[in-house]
Amino acid sequence: MQKRFNLLLCSPLLALAAMPISADEPVDVVLIGGGIMSATLGTYLQELEPEWDIQLFERLDQVGQESSNAWNNAGSGHSAFMELNYTPGDGDHVEIERAINVTEQFELSRQFWAHQVDQDVLSDPTAFINTVPHHALVWGEDDVAFLRERHASMVQNPLYADMEYSEDRDEIAGWMPLVMAGRDDNTPVAATRMQMGTEVNYGAQTEQMIESLSDNEHFTLSLNSEVRGLERNDDDSWHVTVKNLESGDETSVDARFVFIGAGGAALPLLQASGIPEASAYAGFPVGGQFLYTTNPDVVAQHQIKVYGKAGEGSPPMSVPHLDYRNLNGEPALFFGPFATFSSKFLKEGSWTDLFGSMTFNNTWPMMEVGLDNFNLVRYLVGQVLMSDGDRMEALQAFYPEANPDDWELWTAGQRVQIIKDDPEDGGTLQFGTEVVISADGTMSALMGASPGASTAPSIMLNLLDTAFPAQMESSEWQDALRQIVPSYGQHLAENPDLLSEVRAYTASTLELDEPANLAAANGSDEALEEEANTDAEPQPNGAGDEIQGDVEEDDAEMNDAQDAEQQDVTTDA
């Protein structure tokens, strides 16, 4: 199945990727890494500044093959509907602020993608996003009490008004028959359901965006091209040295802005740039494995995603989930993740990556993290020592009647956990993503164990705000961004009417099969009727004049809202 997947990714991009690079022709922007982050940033910039020259370097022979590859991530549209680690608490109180932040960012992603469909940048939405209901499932009295309180807190917010909750075993079995069959009748269970959940293929999305970028004469894609050097020029631009991995030739290009969206390779490249901000960071690589099946009889019973609750003391990465996947038209189920250890920073990286990234400044913070996070160390050791039987036992806790003969083990992508040297707390381990940018805004990188593909448009919008402050204040960029993201600068959780309009627009444009009542977040029967009568054709020029008129009234709040948007992203792509 993996071979078929790779063949599907072969595209006209290969014919567009052999353009020469010349140091005599400086460019405005260099993007390092051909994944979802570079594709998203390049797409923003091409619309905001169509005359800017952009050069993208990818070390592999295709784009979207590391973290963005559908086989190397969980493939969920992370919107905090089912991810219980976004809502810490217990049966007495659950905090939902973090979930609200993640949900709003995913709503922004949907708007960005819908706009790109309108602009023919994304040519086929069904190839990268589809409706797959999101469920949370727990068992045991304490966890049932937690989920009950979580639902009670969340359903009061317009973002989650359609979230269903049940402790009725028969009703839950109707939602997830595969998971409930054979389960102990004496153990209390509870579940929530959001029917507007999504499955996202970030590799297919990346390929579509970069193929569209390649149609512009100001964009150049170079495959099999590994960045080997980053040096600051006297005029504060950057001299980027690149090796062609096929021919062995080295070339270079000068750029006034560089973005490193290279997954695990971001840390060593950032260190190579020599910017002072890089010295505060170290990284620890953690890999992941999934059990998967393509047995059609099994897959047909579970066309949903179900997330459980991480064990006490376990890190966020350990949240177990059983997911329906659509891998370029190939239905499958994935269960995991199971952590692995490798010193590689990329799946296609080098065994020396970890050791090469260790410096005088970051070695002690790494040791502090090891001493202060014994639960994580114990978890990783336990995961590495798991046998096939142990992994099957974990699956059968979710799917009691799972047949070992149906399942195979797949090694997914590498993630690099951020270790940051905090002036007060010393070495601290961070599970989210973080944008690191030089003081002058010319060098930037995205780092983190969770690249956050679900929230890439929001992350890159925040980067634009930091790297290009003058342009972001201009009326030209502001007007363009309101076309790209109709809710730009707004909090949808505080604006039910706008939320309903935006969700209806994105569901229609992205061809999502969502329930008719998704527009009823404010409880309005009129809104329900209006959505039922909505024309299914995509609206031109973004979300249309109706949505645009709503958001233009609140310009004064825009900058404050944008600053707050990126404070906490911990999605696992």
Give the 3-state secondary structure of residue 497: helix
Quick check: 543 pLDDT over 50?
A: no
DSSP 228: E
Query: 313: pLDDT confidence band, cut at 50, 70 and 90?
Result: low
pLDDT at position 561: 39
Mean pLDDT value across residues 162-172:
98
Cα torsion angle, 490, 165, 144, 320, sign: negative
pLDDT at position 213: 98
Residue 407's region, left for phi above 0, alpha for psi from -120 to 50, else beta, is beta
- pLDDT tens readout for residues 411-442: 887 777 777 777 777 777 676 788 999 999 99
Least confident of 80-94, 120-134, 436-450: 436-450
Higher model confidence: residue 232 or residue 347? 232
343, two tokens? 């010193």
Answer whether the bond into residue 337 is a cis peptide, omega within 30°: yes
CB atoms within 10 A of CB 430: 18
Quick check: 238 pLDDT over 90?
A: yes
pLDDT at position 7: 39
Higher model confidence: residue 280 or residue 102? 102
Give Cα 30 distance to the centre of its chain.
22
Q: What residues does 368 pair with on adjacent strands?
A: none
- pLDDT tens readout for residues 65-77: 888 888 888 888 8
Query: Residue 417: CB partners within 8 Å, gap ≥ 6?
Result: 283, 284, 285, 286, 429, 430, 431, 448, 449
pTM for the whole thing? Answer: 0.84
Give the 3-state secondary structure of residue 418: strand
pLDDT at position 9: 44
Query: 160: pLDDT confidence band, cut at 50, 70 and 90?
Result: very high
pLDDT at position 358: 73
pLDDT at position 356: 66
pLDDT at position 430: 72
Quick check: 536 pLDDT over 70?
A: no
Helical pair 496-509 and 525-532, crossing angle rounded to 10 deg: 20
The CA-based angle 458-551-113, given to 5 degrees, is: 35
Start-to-end Cα distance in the chain: 21
Mean pLDDT value across residues 178-191:
95
pLDDT at position 515: 66
What is the H or E stretch that residue 40 is in?
Answer: helix 36-48
Q: Are 507 and 536 in contact (CB under 8 A)?
A: no
Mean pLDDT value across residues 434-453:
85
**How far apart are alpha carbons 214 and 34 in whole angstroms?**
12
Q: What residues does 238 pair with on adjacent strands?
A: 232, 255
Q: Are 273 and 230 in contact (CB under 8 A)?
A: yes
Quick check: 529 pLDDT over 80?
A: no
CB atoms within 10 A of CB 100: 21
Q: Is 479 exposed, middle or buried (0-12, 13-18, 19+ CB in 10 A)?
A: exposed
* 3-state per-residue secondary structure call for 548-571: HHHHHHHHHHHHHHHHHCCCCCCC
Q: How many helices (H) and strands (E) does the chain have?
A: 20, 19
pLDDT at position 567: 37
Query: 105: pLDDT confidence band, cut at 50, 70 and 90?
Result: very high
Least confident of 117-126, 142-151, 418-427, 516-525: 516-525
Produce one character per residue of 113-147: b if its CB has 16 or more CB atoms within 10 Å, e if not: bbbbbbbebbeebebbbbbbbbbbbbbeeebbbbb
Q: Are 199 and 325 in contact (CB under 8 A)?
A: yes
Least confident of 259-268, 317-326, 373-382, 388-397: 373-382
CB under 8 A, 24+ apart: contacts of 535-538: 535/508, 536/508, 537/508, 538/114, 538/117, 538/118, 538/508, 538/509
Quick check: 110 pLDDT over 60?
A: yes
Higher model confidence: residue 311 or residue 188? 188
**How far apart are alpha carbons 372 and 284 in whole angstroms?**
14
Least confident of 301-310, 377-386, 425-434, 488-497: 425-434
Average pLDDT of the chain, as a whole number: 84
Query: 17: pLDDT confidence band, cut at 50, 70 and 90?
Result: low
What is the H or E stretch that residue 480 is in?
Answer: helix 475-484
Residues in the chain: 573
Least confident of 29-43, 275-289, 355-369, 388-402: 355-369
Quick check: 253 pLDDT over 60?
A: yes
Mean pLDDT value across residues 122-148:
96
Least confident of 185-194, 231-240, 355-364, 537-546: 537-546
CB under 8 A, 24+ apart: contacts of 373-377: 373/429, 375/313, 375/314, 375/315, 376/315, 376/429
Mean pLDDT value across residues 29-41:
96
Q: Are 429 and 369 in contact (CB under 8 A)?
A: yes
pLDDT at position 201: 94
Quick check: 559 pLDDT over 60?
A: no
Q: Are 187 and 140 in contact (CB under 8 A)?
A: yes
Least confident of 215-219, 241-245, 537-541: 537-541
pLDDT at position 415: 75
Percent of the chain with pLDDT over 70: 82
70, two tokens? 């559908």
Q: Is 448 exposed, middle or buried (0-12, 13-18, 19+ CB in 10 A)?
A: buried
475, two tokens? 């009326």
- pLDDT tens readout for residues 346-393: 667 777 766 667 777 777 667 777 777 777 777 778 778 888 999 999
User: The tokens 């709003």 sit on which residue?
Assistant: 104
Backbone angles phi, psi at 55, to 5 degrees: -120, 125
